[in-house]
A and B are shown apart, each in its own frame.
Chain A
Amino acid sequence: MAWFRKEKQKLVAQKRELAADVWEKCDGCGEILYTRRLEENRRVCPECGHHFQISAPEYVDLLFDDGLTEEFDPGLRSSDPLEFVDSKPYPLRIAQAEEKVGTYDAVLTGVGRIEGREVCAGIMDFGFIGGSMGSVVGEKIARMVEQGVERSSPVLIVSASGGARMQEGIFSLMQLAKTSAALQRLASAGLPYISILTHPTTGGVTASYAMLGDVNLAEPGALIGFAGPRVIKETIRQDLPDGFQRSEFLREHGMVDRIVPRGEMRDTVALLLHHMT
């Protein structure tokens, strides 16, 4: 009766690894996409229009005629004012993020041309500690806006951020005040500021420069809010409505001027600047 006791062979689904450099799965529709095709489409899913996150240098290429002609403050680095240690020391976290993303912290700032017009810009990178704003992000944004005042150029900021950086404590919070003060100065000089909100933009960045544009533009489907959805859900103990805190919800409630797909962003910005400068 040996056959009776024969061990059943377990059925194990073979997890097929997608070669990340060739194929990617869309978070929007689940479609498996050919990476090269995705890149050609500026990392927007050709099937459902889902906007994948892109890095700061990729966004620069998307918007500017010829990249940034000058990068501002590339040597600015976070120090560790609180000597903050959670699961790892903060300086180690910074070093690892720099290795992964680049040395510009969570924002790349500089000046370039869009349709021939000089624009000072800050482009955030969610890949760097969740695009969190610490002293370096605040300082670079403020200096870049001051450059805008000095050169009489319009200012543009592309946001992607989970909010203020906890590891710098109160110093991070003060960057909300600093960046808003810089934009106040820009506004009194009569210069335009366009804010572009991408997925996700929440917390302290939304509660400062991301919401202060003369014009606020949002990529489709981006999560934009003050509090994160999980915090809201825990506070009110209710399910959140469909589409809550997405770009379309913000447009409906009057918080963003337009929803602009990535492929149309450059033309839209150029047209707005034409009207405002």
Chain B
Amino acid sequence: MSHVVEIKSIYKSYLLGEVKVEAIKNLSLTVTKGEFTALVGASGSGKTTLLNLIGCLDNVDKGDVIIAQSDVKSLSEDQKSILRNEKIGFIFQSFNLIPVLSVYENVELPLTIRKNLDPEFIKSKVMSAISDVGLADFIHHRPDQLSGGQRQRVAIARALVTDPDLILADEPTANLDSKTAHKIIDLMIDLNQKKGVTFFFCTHDEKLMSRVQKIIKIKDGQIETV
């Protein structure tokens, strides 16, 4: 099985006021293609920091992050953008949809910056991703016309549309009621099982934890158990 993510002895610290916080300390892990992995831990344990490092949203102080065979350290900012666009999908806790764009346009967004793509191909990919999350009847709706669960589905479709090697989700059910959260969990599991999409997400949601293949517990910036 090929590794989508390989992390070797990484360190990350940041300043909180004048205090230096060691968020990640000598952490190593791998994520294999097709895995459905949850990253759990108390607040401040370093979950989101780790997710940001894997998503090339932040840089490590020391160590190596290899995403889809690319050593992130050696990439320029533009190359990291391309890597994020082609290999990684993001699902944010607060959806992060563009309010002025329709469901279709939000999902289409990552593909609009790719060069030389056939418009028909883009349309079929977007419609397929929207259908996968069950929002085919809402393509012209704007985010403010959707419920929280529907918005998160749009975010999932946006993450799916580029066929990424990895989808990173930061507390994807945190802003949803339990019934909607269930549906989102079901959707993610379904996409993982039927389409082989690799999910790596951090969560506090025990319902979600009980349904994942692999749980990585993190404490004080280090992996406690796998």
A binds B: no
B: residues with CB less than 8 A from A are none
A: residues with CB less than 8 A from B are none
